[in-house]
Amino acid sequence: MALPHRTPQGLSRALSPACVLACTLLALVVLVGSQPWSKAKGSGRYFEARVESSRSGLVQVYYDVGRELNEADSSSLPVTAGKPATLRFELPYGSISRLRFDPLDAECRVTVSGAQIVGPFGGVIRAFSPADFSPRFEIASIEQKGGSVVIMSNPGATDPSVNIALNEPVVIGCAPVPAQFLGVLGISLAAAIVLSLAWDSRALRLPELAASLWAKAFASPVRSAALVSLVSTVLANYPVLILGKSFVSPSMGIPVLYGQSPWLPSAPSAEVGNPNRSDVGAVVWHHLPLSMIERKAIFEDGELPLWNRYDSAGVPLLGQGQSCFGDPLQLLPVLGDGSAWSWDIKFLVAKWLFALGIGLCVWRLFRHLPTALVLTASSSFIGFFVYRINHPAIFSLTYAPWILYAWIRCVEAESARAAIFAFVGLVGANWCEMNSGTAKEAYSLLVSMNLAGACLLVFSERTARTKIALLAGSLAAGAVFAMVSAPVWYTFYRALRIAYTSYNAPQAFQLQPGMLVGLFDEAFYRPFQEVWGVVNPSVNFLVLVGFLWAIVRIRSLCADRRALGLLAASLPAFAIVFGIVPPGLIERTPFLGNILHVDNAFSCHHPHGAVWLRDPRGIPAPGIRRGPGGRGEGPLPGGWVVRDLLWNGAGGGEGRVFGRYVGWLDKPGRLHLRLRSEPHSGRRLAPRIGTFRA
């Protein structure tokens, strides 16, 4: 009698409905994030050639994809005199019928070899011989030397160009969306099967190893959060740590001394990165030079950096509110004289502090270590860091959870000594936030984070007498902070009163309520534009899952007084960002009306919101213990803190405003938001048209 066939336990686990559903959702997330429908998305195919030039300049390739030859359908890269380099010009999807090659933007002698179109893995799609090059404009001669072609321009040429013969169009097609989805799904299922089989392997003994690590994690939650945040920060920033990149490199297309790459004399690399329309110039143009001025003032002149004599006819330095001078992390670039490595370390430490702060807030509020560690790790992979690649708003964001953490310790304080330590931490966190390097984001975060902490205290289960005592202590701490920080905020206020800025005319740019889903991932913003680039800050899909689960568990959520406190604190920023507060009221409010981009300046005001997330399933996971205190039931604790923190972002690009809501156009008159404009009636959320530049 034949024995019945038995499927291995690991294989059956990997092919269970829950696992297949999880892999399917993962494939959908990856597909949405890759934006297969975007016309501006790069194809991963390149025109490649080895170029040697007699002088430095720009090499440019034009491709005709049905719109004739134009600047928009072209790609340019720098070349250094006497240094042969292999240049790779990315090509778009579509049918390319013509290629034009500009050897340089000046008089030159250029040698080209190995011209070909290659795929994403280096496979040759179309190779070109020297005979395929023919003169087009300002070309004196084209000479073939073996497998190379030597191009001589006319004397005094400014735009020499040659044609590259195509016997037939080069068609670069994109894989169908279903094929992409099935590919990701197959890889996900294969990975699940491998992991399941490895878990059941007696040789690897993964369950015992996991149990041992988990026990150590519960024994020291703070150290575990610190380690997880460190690992996630390293993984999220590996180009800087491993590949030799830098947050402050002008190679992201930042004009510095020159208006084109290479941007600086003797630049070690001619590579040009694509920031996807992120505001990457602020730190290079302003904050990096300020750190050098601060070093000179302190170590050479023996004075405080109060004045910037190098800008215009002289402007306030400390009074700008953007000097970072009181930020402890600013010591790194000051001591490093503004060097790239010192700024890189500052960004990395700040991001580590952000992830750690989120994890500690979740842990102290809910005592559920699994969710705290998951949110700690995911906090390094939020869309805000894509939107603000190297903007100083990152520092404002990263200090914000520590204000909330100080308030949490204050609420939990069981003795006068513990409360005093919490108040000292609160003053320190607010000081760091004020001096983080921005004005709009930092000062608005000061208000919203302290409002969140106060709401936590008011909604807590402490007695009325204890609440009054702690509120009195927090007011005293606030008074101390106001006095200690007066040299910063008062000089900023005085300078602002007499200064002219581009923010003098009050306006209010807001987001449409229908675009709320974009807050969770910027992939939901991008379908409204054809130009590939960031639009507004976001968190990630994990926070979206937690938010949806919180809605499912709404009764449990309403029964949690801590969550209600955080919800109450997040409502003002939510109302401002998504147009519930009329733009006219914002414009009439002092200071608030001069922020202009309230859509992104208030989009990071909700670190307190991620605290709604708890165990993703709301029930104990098999084989995993609850943390001390047994607080495991209810909605997921962590993502709401992250979501709340990330109402803030930064502006970028051009668009139109409908009812003071931000929308995007690829060309004048072609709007991608399906909206109906009508005369402004004064009613709340009434559409009104106006142009803006972020």
The pLDDT tens digits of the residues spanning 313-357 come to 888 898 888 899 999 999 999 999 999 999 999 999 999 999 999
Q: What is the overall mean pLDDT for the chain?
A: 80
Confidence of residue 663 (pLDDT cuts 50, 70, 90): very low
Confidence of residue 174 (pLDDT cuts 50, 70, 90): confident
The distance of Cα 12 from the centroid of its chain, to the nearest Å, equals: 39
Q: What is the mean pLDDT of residues 604-608?
A: 56
In a domain, 238, yes or no: no
The vertex-620 CA angle with 617 and 622, nearest 5°, equals 105
Instruction: Dihedral sign for Cα 527, 533, 538, 539, please.
Output: positive
What CA–CA distance (Å, rounded) separates 440 from 9? 56
Residue 341 CB coordination number (10 Å) = 13
**pLDDT, greater one: 687 or 598:** 598
In a domain, 14, yes or no: no
Looking at residue 244, its pLDDT comes to 86
Answer whether residue 656 shows pLDDT above 50. Answer: no
Looking at residue 486, its pLDDT comes to 94
Residue 395 · residue 343 · CB < 8 Å: no
Instruction: Dihedral sign for Cα 595, 598, 603, 608, please.
Output: positive
Pair of tokens at residue 586? 């914002």
Residue ranges of the alpha helices (H) in 318-415?
331-335, 340-366, 369-378, 384-387, 393-412
Answer whether residue 256 shows pLDDT above 70. Answer: yes
Q: What is the DSSP letter of 287?
A: I
Phi/psi of residue 337, nearest 5 degrees: 55, 40
Looking at residue 558, its pLDDT comes to 81
**pLDDT, greater one: 483 or 120:** 483
**Segment 70-87, tens digit of pLDDT:** 887 888 888 888 889 899
What CA–CA distance (Å, rounded) separates 229 from 237? 12
Q: What is the mean pLDDT of residues 518-534?
A: 73
Residue 298 CB coordination number (10 Å) = 15
221-236 vs 206-219: helix crossing angle, rounded to 10: 110
**Segment 385-427, tens digit of pLDDT:** 988 899 999 999 999 999 999 999 999 999 999 999 999 999 9
Pair of tokens at residue 626? 């609850």
CATH number at residue 93: 2.60.120
In a domain, 297, yes or no: no
Q: What is the DSSP letter of 508?
A: B
Looking at residue 664, its pLDDT comes to 35
Residue 521 · residue 383 · CB < 8 Å: yes
Entry pTM: 0.78
Q: Which of 365-369, 570-574, 649-653 has the lowest mean pLDDT?
A: 649-653
Choose one of 109, 143, 172: the last residue of a domain.
172
Looking at residue 96, its pLDDT comes to 93
Cross-strand pairs, 135: 162
What is the largest distance, in Å, between two alpha-carbon atoms of the chain?
98
In a domain, 328, yes or no: no
Cα distances (Å, whole numbers) of residue 135 to 61, 82, 86, 100, 663: 14, 23, 22, 10, 44
Confidence of residue 18 (pLDDT cuts 50, 70, 90): confident
Residues 6+ apart with CB under 8 A from 265: 257
Answer whether residue 298 shows pLDDT above 80. Answer: yes
In a domain, 651, yes or no: yes
What CA–CA distance (Å, rounded) separates 684 from 472? 38
Q: What is the mean pLDDT of residues 675-685?
A: 32
Phi/psi of residue 118, nearest 5 degrees: -120, 160
Pair of tokens at residue 441? 């984001």
Residues 6+ apart with CB under 8 A from 475: none
Phi/psi of residue 635, nearest 5 degrees: -70, 165
Looking at residue 470, its pLDDT comes to 95
Cα distances (Å, whole numbers) of residue 675 to 251, 575, 687: 38, 20, 9
Looking at residue 252, its pLDDT comes to 80
Long-range CB pairs of 328-331 (<8 Å, 24+ gap) are: 328/432, 329/395, 330/291, 330/294, 330/435, 330/437
Confidence of residue 132 (pLDDT cuts 50, 70, 90): very high
What CA–CA distance (Å, rounded) separates 663 from 684? 18
Confidence of residue 647 (pLDDT cuts 50, 70, 90): very low
Q: Which of 98-107, 140-149, 167-176, 666-675 has the lowest mean pLDDT?
A: 666-675
Choose one of 139, 155, 172: the last residue of a domain.
172
Answer whether residue 651 shows pLDDT above 60. Answer: no
Residues 6+ apart with CB under 8 A from 637: 362, 365, 366, 368, 371, 372, 375, 610, 611, 612, 613, 614
Q: What is the mean pLDDT of residues 613-638?
A: 36
Cα distances (Å, whole numbers) of residue 636 to 224, 365, 434, 505: 19, 12, 31, 43
What CA–CA distance (Å, rounded) separates 264 from 689? 41
User: Collapsing DSSP states into helix, strand and coil, what is residue 419?
Assistant: helix
Choose one of 142, 172, 202: the last residue of a domain.
172
Residue 277 · residue 534 · CB < 8 Å: yes
- Percent of the chain predicted with pLDDT > 90: 40
Residue 616 · residue 582 · CB < 8 Å: no
What CA–CA distance (Å, rounded) separates 171 from 321? 53
Name the range with the highest mean pLDDT among 25-29, 429-433, 492-496, 513-517.
429-433
Looking at residue 111, its pLDDT comes to 95
Task: Name the domain count of the chain.
Answer: 2
Looking at residue 548, its pLDDT comes to 83
Looking at residue 16, its pLDDT comes to 85
Structural domain including 140 reads 42-172
Answer whether residue 136 shows pLDDT above 90. Answer: yes
Looking at residue 567, its pLDDT comes to 84
What CA–CA distance (Å, rounded) separates 476 from 487? 19
Answer whether residue 641 shows pLDDT above 50. Answer: no
Q: Which residue in this structure is represented by tokens 């297969």?
A: 36
**Segment 358-388, tens digit of pLDDT:** 999 999 988 889 889 999 999 999 888 988 8
Answer whether residue 54 shows pLDDT above 80. Answer: yes
Confidence of residue 633 (pLDDT cuts 50, 70, 90): very low
Confidence of residue 574 (pLDDT cuts 50, 70, 90): confident
Looking at residue 345, its pLDDT comes to 96
Pair of tokens at residue 601? 């300046």
What CA–CA distance (Å, rounded) separates 575 from 639? 20
Looking at residue 455, its pLDDT comes to 93
Answer whether residue 217 shows pLDDT above 80. Answer: yes
Answer whether residue 683 shows pLDDT above 70. Answer: no
Residue ranges of the alpha helices (H) in 303-339?
331-335
Confidence of residue 655 (pLDDT cuts 50, 70, 90): very low
